[in-house]
Structure 1
Amino acid sequence: MATSRRDFLRNSALASTLLLVPKFLHALDRGPGLARLSNAPGARRLIVVQLSGGNDGLNTVIPFRNDLYYKARPTLGIREADGILALDKDLGLHPALKGLKGLYDQGHLAVLNSVGYPNPDRSHFRSMDIWQSGSGSEQVVSTGWLGRYLDSNCPDCQRPYNALEVDDTLSLALKGSQRKGLALKSPDKFHQISQNRLLAKVSKEASTEHHSQVDYLYKTLAETASSADYLYDKSKIYQSTATYPNSDFGKNLKTTAELINSGVESRVYYLALSGFDTHVRQHEQQQRLFTDLGDGLAVLAADLQKNNQWDNTLVLVFSEFGRRVGQNASNGTDHGTANNVFLAGGALQKKGVINDAPDLANLDQGDLRHQVDFRSIYANILKDWLGADDAAILGTGFERMSGLV
């Protein structure tokens, strides 16, 4: 071989995600005749939207009748005259979140306040690991909560495309010990990489030899290549005409809607919107990001509703932590603790503002105290929405928040 298999596996980043496909493994390709997810009894999907950087929850769901809020944020606080979108319990959404307010008015949005975990960590990386793994702050876990869902023999989990991250890399959240999700920016790009000539050459040469030590790798890559073909073919069925935000996040939402409306049977989709580390100039950053978020989710919901896919879809929106209650000297906020979580969908059991606003008179050294453990929400989603064994996936020791979905 001009290129040794050892060198290829060592040097090619693609080998971790794609695509050595020996011909003897094409029996793994997806067979015809599987029902569309929307037509399967009780079939439901989850879309996770991660707000990376630590979104400021107090300027997202605003306690606009609380004087302590404005005392802590004399210039950063948002006032009714700024166009706050009123909710229940003396709370309102940021003026740029008109899309979320529309979902709220339809009964398709639930707002949870003061979500966090005991002994919170203010490091972006560590706190994100905690949220993505579904662990406690004192634990270090190498698998993600949705990856363990894939490991749990959930319906159709043998399909390698059962969980998709619309991005170039796969997050910890979708990594299990036995199964993992797939990361793809678009079905076209994913399929294009699978047709790489060097990979095809190595695949052809490998197909004439049998090396037991790499059989597992070949099997994994074959499944991935088969998925690339399947997703590429499926994605051509439905091309959305909806007007999504002209941004990377908007394009990822459109890709997600097209995959769903094309009949892809994936149970989990994972997306991220970055830029929420607002130490400086928070007003400008949140205005831009929230317009992207609110408008994008509103278009997604309408796109799925039009194709009868919204009632079996649940959207979870979270960030790794909130911000300090008091503003800093740079018209921004620093790393904090508890935060908002949003749930959106056409079949919510509870909707509106689910729990009370954060108690600004009872802070922990300037930070919000959490009322709800984020794993309680995960447990509810796993058990009541996805039909999984939440205790086996997350463990015990916290109260499951039931009745949301």
Structure 2
Amino acid sequence: MPTRRDFLKSSILASSLLFVPKFLHALDRGGVPGLRDSSGRRLVVVQLGGGNDGLNTIVPYRNDLYYNARPTLALREQAGLLTLDKDLALHPAMTRLKQLYDQGQLAVLNSVGYPNPDRSHFRSMDIWHTGSAADEYLSTGWLGRYLDAACTGCSTGHTGIEVDDTLSLAMKGEARKGLALKNPQKLRQATQNRLLVQASRESAATGVSELDYLYKTLTETASSADYLYEKAKVYRSAVTYPDSEFAKSLKTAAELINAGLETRVYYASLAGFDTHVRQHEQQGKLLQDLSDGLGAFVDDLQRGGQFDSTLILVFSEFGRRVSQNASNGTDHGTANNVLLIGGKLRQPGVVNNAPDLANLDDGDLRYQVDFRSIYASVLRDWLEADDKTILSGGPAPLSGLV
């Protein structure tokens, strides 16, 4: 019989398997009881960890102030910039996103941020994850609170999946949480762990009350992992994805979406954007990973007839300083761009004006758009949720965005 110590040895594995939903089994019986109708729409959030340099992503290539601030780091038109509207251009590595832009499937929002910005990675990411003000500390994420609200009549479960080993604060609600999994096969393999299987089988005989809940959860986890594994086999992608971890995450999400899983929110991350040194090489590779991965993902959803019911939101916790540093990189800044991708965008293209480089705040961009107004638009107009309750008031939604 497993001992308490044996069980706790598996705590890291067990913690990644908690909160697996019974509701998944209800999908084959006609949907999730109590799930509020959002017309079959889903949201895919892509987080760029580390603070992506927005000025070298959406480039103000006709602005002399940009070149003055970045004598060696600025990207010039002859380098292959992919021109957009309003004297802006995409980084040369982002050819797949340029194709989406030309097809009316990409929207660019400039100078997105919040009042009194914080330049700490951890604190600023918490602010973006929770949808809080800079001086407000919340323990639940904006998507987690959506999960709470979206399934008010459900006995258990959630409607969100993060394709990763750990769950972001953004996906943690008061009553419900998203599920973190790298892919369904690995989740199923994890539940076949000998110690965990033995523990769940012998839970009735242990009499250890403090472990009863965990044993029960592990039993349910194994069952749900089997379900996800079988569900994922319904659709096998024929699209060629780049050979990167980020692209693999998007492929997993696409296979689940195209298999008919009624999950409302997916979450994926691409890290490495803290480019203090030699930014050109590092950011260029990451932006190509982002662009090529999202391009394949969109192709996959289009083949499965799911793109028009999907909205993709791409963000980073902050931008970078306007001026380059002495190491051919950039330091932590403030406002940044947000990208929206979808087949049914109401306002594709460059949504607002380029950053005002003549009106800086101590060398940083001033925000034009509060990120919470984008969240509010997505919640109200795309997911058909109560944005005021989920975001506790906050800025009004942007009209006509999605």
TM norm structure 1 = 0.92
1:56-115 superposed Cα distances (whole Å, 9 cap, x missing partner) = 000000111111111111111111101111111111101101111111011111100000
Gaps of 5+ in 1: none
SS at match of 2:28: coil
Write the distance in 2 (CA, Å) between the matches of 1:148 and 1:236: 30
Letter in 2 for 1:183: A
Write the distance in 2 (CA, Å) between the matches of 1:241 and 1:14: 32
Residues 1:91 and 2:88 are matched in the alignment: yes
Identical columns (%): 65
- Return the offset for 1:34: 3.4
1:338-395 superposed Cα distances (whole Å, 9 cap, x missing partner) = 0000000111111100000000000000000000110110111111111111111111
SS at match of 2:29: coil
Structure 1 stretches of at least 4 aligned residues deviating more than 4 Å after TM superposition: 26-29, 155-159, 208-216
- Greater mean deviation of Cα atoms: 309-318 or 216-225: 216-225
Matched residue, 1:4: 3
Equivalent in 75, 90, 97 of residue 78 of structure 1: 75
Matched residue, 2:321: 324
- Return the offset for 1:203: 0.8
Residues 45 and 219 (structure 1 numbering): CA distance in 2 closer, same or farther, change over 3 Å?
A: farther
> Which structure 2 residues correspond to residues 179-328 of structure 1 after superposition, within 5 A?
179-208=176-205, 213-328=210-325
Matched residue, 2:348: 351
Residues 115 and 138 (structure 1 numbering): CA distance in 2 closer, same or farther, change over 3 Å?
A: same
Letter in 1 for 2:346: Q
Write the distance in 2 (CA, Å) between the matches of 1:177 and 1:376: 22
Write the distance in 1 (CA, Å) between the matches of 2:283 and 2:142: 28
Aligned residue pairs total 398
- Greater mean deviation of Cα atoms: 6-15 or 49-58: 6-15
> Which structure 2 residues correspond to residues 54-73 of structure 1 after superposition, within 5 A?
54-73=51-70
Write the distance in 1 (CA, Å) between the matches of 2:368 and 2:223: 45
Write the distance in 2 (CA, Å) between the matches of 1:27 and 1:395: 29
Tell me if structure 1 keeps the 8 A contact 2:319–2:334: yes
Write the distance in 2 (CA, Å) between the matches of 1:32 and 1:391: 29
Write the distance in 2 (CA, Å) between the matches of 1:260 and 1:216: 31
- Return the offset for 1:226: 3.1
Write the distance in 2 (CA, Å) between the matches of 1:231 and 1:59: 40
Matched residue, 2:172: 175
- Return the offset for 1:131: 0.5
Write the distance in 1 (CA, Å) between the matches of 2:320 and 2:386: 33
Write the distance in 1 (CA, Å) between the matches of 2:268 and 2:81: 27
Tell me if structure 2 keeps the 8 A contact 1:337–1:368: yes
Write the distance in 1 (CA, Å) between the matches of 2:23 and 2:320: 48
Write the distance in 2 (CA, Å) between the matches of 1:36 and 1:70: 54
Matched residue, 1:115: 112
Write the distance in 2 (CA, Å) between the matches of 1:255 and 1:203: 28
Tell me if structure 1 keeps the 8 A contact 2:43–2:266: yes
1:117-165 superposed Cα distances (whole Å, 9 cap, x missing partner) = 1100001111111111111110111111111111114488666362111
Tell me if structure 2 keeps the 8 A contact 1:19–1:222: no
Write the distance in 2 (CA, Å) between the matches of 1:271 and 1:388: 22
> Which structure 2 residues correspond to residues 155-170 of structure 1 after superposition, within 5 A?
160=157, 162-170=159-167
Residues 269 and 303 (structure 1 numbering): CA distance in 2 closer, same or farther, change over 3 Å?
A: same
Matched residue, 2:390: 393
SS at match of 1:152: helix
Letter in 1 for 2:25: R
SS at match of 2:17: coil
Gaps of 5+ in 2: none
SS at match of 2:111: strand
Write the distance in 1 (CA, Å) between the matches of 2:108 and 2:323: 22
SS at match of 1:115: strand
Matched residue, 1:33: 28
Write the distance in 2 (CA, Å) between the matches of 1:179 and 1:10: 26
Tell me if structure 2 keeps the 8 A contact 1:160–1:227: no
Letter in 1 for 2:28: G
Residues 16 and 71 (structure 1 numbering): CA distance in 2 closer, same or farther, change over 3 Å?
A: same
Residues 230 and 331 (structure 1 numbering): CA distance in 2 closer, same or farther, change over 3 Å?
A: same
Write the distance in 1 (CA, Å) between the matches of 2:23 and 2:339: 38
- Return the offset for 1:264: 1.4
SS at match of 2:145: helix
Equivalent in 43, 48, 51 of residue 51 of structure 1: 48
Equivalent in 108, 124, 135 of residue 138 of structure 1: 135
Residues 70 and 217 (structure 1 numbering): CA distance in 2 closer, same or farther, change over 3 Å?
A: same
Tell me if structure 2 keeps the 8 A contact 1:28–1:223: no
Write the distance in 2 (CA, Å) between the matches of 1:302 and 1:346: 11
Residues 109 and 236 (structure 1 numbering): CA distance in 2 closer, same or farther, change over 3 Å?
A: same
Tell me if structure 1 keeps the 8 A contact 2:319–2:332: yes
- Greater mean deviation of Cα atoms: 386-395 or 313-322: 386-395
Tell me if structure 2 keeps the 8 A contact 1:250–1:296: yes
